[in-house]
Chain A
Amino acid sequence: MKTQQPRRGPRRGGGRGHVAAPARVVALGLLLALALDWRFESRAQAYDPATTHAGLTQQAAAASLLHQVLALRLGRPLGLFEPVSLHAERLTPSERRLLLARLGALDPAGGYRPGDDGVAPALAFVVAGSVIAKMPPESVQHLFFDPSTGSGLKDSAGADGFFHSLRLIADAGGSVRQLATGTGFALEGEPSLKWLDSSDNDLGLPVFHQQLERALSHPDPAERSSALARALLALGGVLTVLEDAGNPAQVRNDFRGSYLQGRTGSPFDRWSRFERGVADFYGMGGIPAPREIVRRPTLRAFFTDPDGQGLADRTQRRFFSDGTVPADGIIDTETTGADVVREARQSLTYGLPIFSHLDLRESGVRRYVTVVEGKEPPRKILAYERVPGRIRFFLDGRVYADSARVLLPEIAGYAAGLIDHLLRGEVKLAREGDSVRATLVDPVGSIRGGTLRLLSEDASGRRSEIAAFPADRGAPESVSVVVPAGSRRIAAVLRGWDAAGPVVAGGELVLPPPPRR
């Protein structure tokens, strides 16, 4: 008895070299890429931004403390439903180019597309940010994270990456120069955790922190509103990166197996049955609420942590992706189930999930490997079927359905927890006679760096600094300043670091109007 590894179509493993792309071969390559399209079959696994990400982010935001933070801490009484204006004329040319075209392309039915005047509820900006984080769709290249290696997408084996780039050029007009210099999408990208901090990411963490600080401190009310809109968009962008850590393909370095196997006729019509099934079944409005809000000590720990409870950790070890299922095994009359299991496990790129039993008695009957987690109903993680001469492993609709049922509320719970984590810093403001007292509240300890600034807002809405307390050696826990005459509102902000990383603490206090005549 022996099992052998049969030759397979495009799977993971093999060479990972990036194919050089001299421009002179581009035209020929394009023809070849189209001609060789038979290589790809229909399979892929990713979350649809317009429905799945939008729904996940909406559920996460509604379950988080964002509403309270907006209503009580940031002076936006209607919270998630507060109209916020993104003033196009206040954006830099680069921001306008990057943002407005993407926002204008969003489906109005989702409720997250700002109006032509740039106005939308606060929640709409968060959800819009999570959708445009995947526009253009090729930006998914930076949304992979393998928690076992810390690396991003690196799945450009053989000529696949090259051919994919060529198809994209034909489809979307990417440049030959991009292809030649490797800046086009050739199945490689930054790790998503690094992308979060990248200066190339206009919806990343630095933008979130910078714009949140600006939303509190800028003198001009229109600038503050635009900054808040930008901060909320960036918050949505950050959430999408985390939500993709709940996608098996994206934590198992599996682009070719999950995304490039699709074919429904046209070489440009490739979509995932999993993605489409989840998107069509759940839509945006059917995404389940989180069962619990997940608390983690740092942003990184939401993705990966030595305790194994990061979302990427949990997803990688509990779910297969299309391209990381066990290799098919050749079987003969002497092959036992244990032999097949052993060989299948040895063929795995990732050691988990494991299974210990297969039923090979009947040929042509589809069976499933199932797992039980806690009190949840059994979940199918892998389909297999004995066919003449071999056993075939794959994922099918029932596996996808069970995966989505378990993953979606879990992802929403991590996303809700991340919102609360990012908004952990607060400056509580209280009136004390003619003064106002500012007290820093941060659940992970004291904040260092930056300057605690207190600002007064006049009747016209303009803010000016009335006090500043450097926090290089740690911010003061509590300070008191005299309120200038005519102040309508006091704001406080500190952008610094605490034990969990960068943080913006802020707060606003509405002052009662002048005494009546």
Chain B
Amino acid sequence: MVERAPFPARPDSVRPADLLGPYDGKVVDADSERPIAGALVAASWAFERGIGVIGPLAAEELVTQTGPDGRYSIPRLGRLPTGLSTRVRRFTVIIYRHGYVGWRSDRRFPGRQVRRDFSQQGNLVRLERWQAGYAHALHLLFLGGSARVREVAAWEAQQAGLDLEAESTERAGQAGGAVAGVLGGGVGGVGMSGRLPVALLDITPLLTDDEIRGVTGYVGTFDDGKLADLPTTEFYDSRHFKAKDRPENYDVGLRVWRLGPAAAEVQYQKLQRDLPRSSSTDEIGDASFRARAGQIEGLVFLVRERGVVVSLTCGTNQCTDPAQVLTIGKLVESRLSDLAAPSVPTPTPLSDPLDETLPDRLKDAE
């Protein structure tokens, strides 16, 4: 049996889709309408069985990517499980691209409203850019997906953990402690919205042009900005001291993650694992290592008490002596206390899906 699809065959049609497929569509940037290439597209079919009471039987997944024109294509499902009560119950598409809000064919983020603009063919997906106030915890809970989706969204896990830590701390405070409230009365105000009122991390006070010049003896000037690889969030910020009219090996980069003690430990280990030619030096902070890529020297250190990881990179024409990198690092370390205190998210109730119109299937059933 194949269930009736809850979405149309085409955007301009009311004819129900064929759950088995095929499916196709195009992924674009919601602001610029430009195609997004390389977005992960994870499609899955869920099969169920049972008489009266029904439960999962099997699933089929197909993962692909959008092409240079932003298009994706998912072939018709060929294999079906057998069984007298077996049915094709659901089809779901999840689309993910770093820097954007994840897209699901059934729900929207952050409000979790039912999505009504998905179609089997000619589907147009407008990916919205990630906004600093969104909560990664809610985003990952919303996103779902298989191991492939989790893999590309893994970078959000640390910040998601922090979202929940702040939420739990808030609630534990209300309940009188993590376990003391267990036998107490009910505690209200649980759940979070997708967007949290947060202050972005700002590492501007940690290092200046003059301080770099004072250490390295460089006489040129810098164009100050941010490194482009990750957006600034409440947990992360960067500075790019770009040497004017000079190649990259004169530049200085500074990245700071303020994650809390546990997650900072994880981030530090991840960097140590991922950065090229890393070797432990333990010369600064509670732990540190050096790394090197071409003409860029890197120093990464962890300050456990503050839950901070600092990554400092310096071109070898700017920092001609490795000791200069350490000196700049110690300057940064001495200023960490100048960072503004982290904001504590305030939990707000999730929207009630019943605010939406009741589905006919539920409302009109007898």
Contact = CB atoms under 8 A, between A and B. Distances in A.
Interface of B: 1, 6, 42, 44, 46, 48-59, 61, 83-85, 87, 89-90, 92, 94, 104, 106-107, 112, 114, 137, 140-147, 149-150, 157-158, 160-161, 164-165, 167-169, 171-172, 178-188, 190-192, 262-263, 265-266, 282-283, 286-287, 304, 349-350, 352-354, 358-359, 361-366
A405 B6 CA distance: 22
Contacts of A49: 55-56
13 contacts: A50-B46, A65-B171, A78-B158, A109-B94, A167-B51, A271-B52, A285-B104, A288-B354, A292-B186, A394-B366, A400-B362, A416-B190, A426-B179
A251 B58 CA distance: 29
Contacts of A71: 161, 165, 262
Given A107-B90, A108-B44, A167-B51, A283 B107 contact: yes
Given A78-B158, A297-B183, A107 B59 contact: yes
Contacts of A443: 179-180, 182-183
A109 B145 contact: yes
Nearest to B265: A77
Given A115-B146, A134-B55, A273 B353 contact: no
A259 B84 contact: no
A397 B363 contact: yes
B361 A281 contact: yes
Most buried by B among A77, A167, A282, A394: A77
Given A77-B263, A77-B265, A513 B165 contact: no
A374 B299 CA distance: 61
A265 B171 CA distance: 50
A292 B53 contact: no
Contacts of A48: 54
Interface stretch (A6-14, A56-64, A206-214, A477-485): A56-64
A110 B265 contact: no
Interface string A65-108: 10111011000011111110000000000000000001001111
A468 interface: no
Given A78-B158, A280-B361, A271 B106 contact: no
B114 to A, nearest CB: 7
Contact of B56 (A59, A77, A107, A120): A107
A119 interface: yes
Contact of B353 (A67, A121, A259, A288): A288
Contact of A292 (B56, B190, B265): B190
Contacts of B145: 108-109, 111
Contacts of B190: 63, 289-293, 413, 416
A265 B65 CA distance: 40
A81 B168 contact: no
Given A293-B186, A421-B182, A286 B353 contact: yes
A280 B52 CA distance: 17
Given A82-B157, A111-B146, 4 more contacts: A67-B167, A132-B56, A295-B184, A516-B283
Contacts of B191: 59, 62-63, 288-290
A4 to B, nearest CB: 24
A262 B179 contact: no
Contacts of A420: 179, 181-182
A58 B363 CA distance: 26
Contacts of B352: 288, 405
A116 interface: yes
A405 B356 CA distance: 12
B144 A111 contact: yes
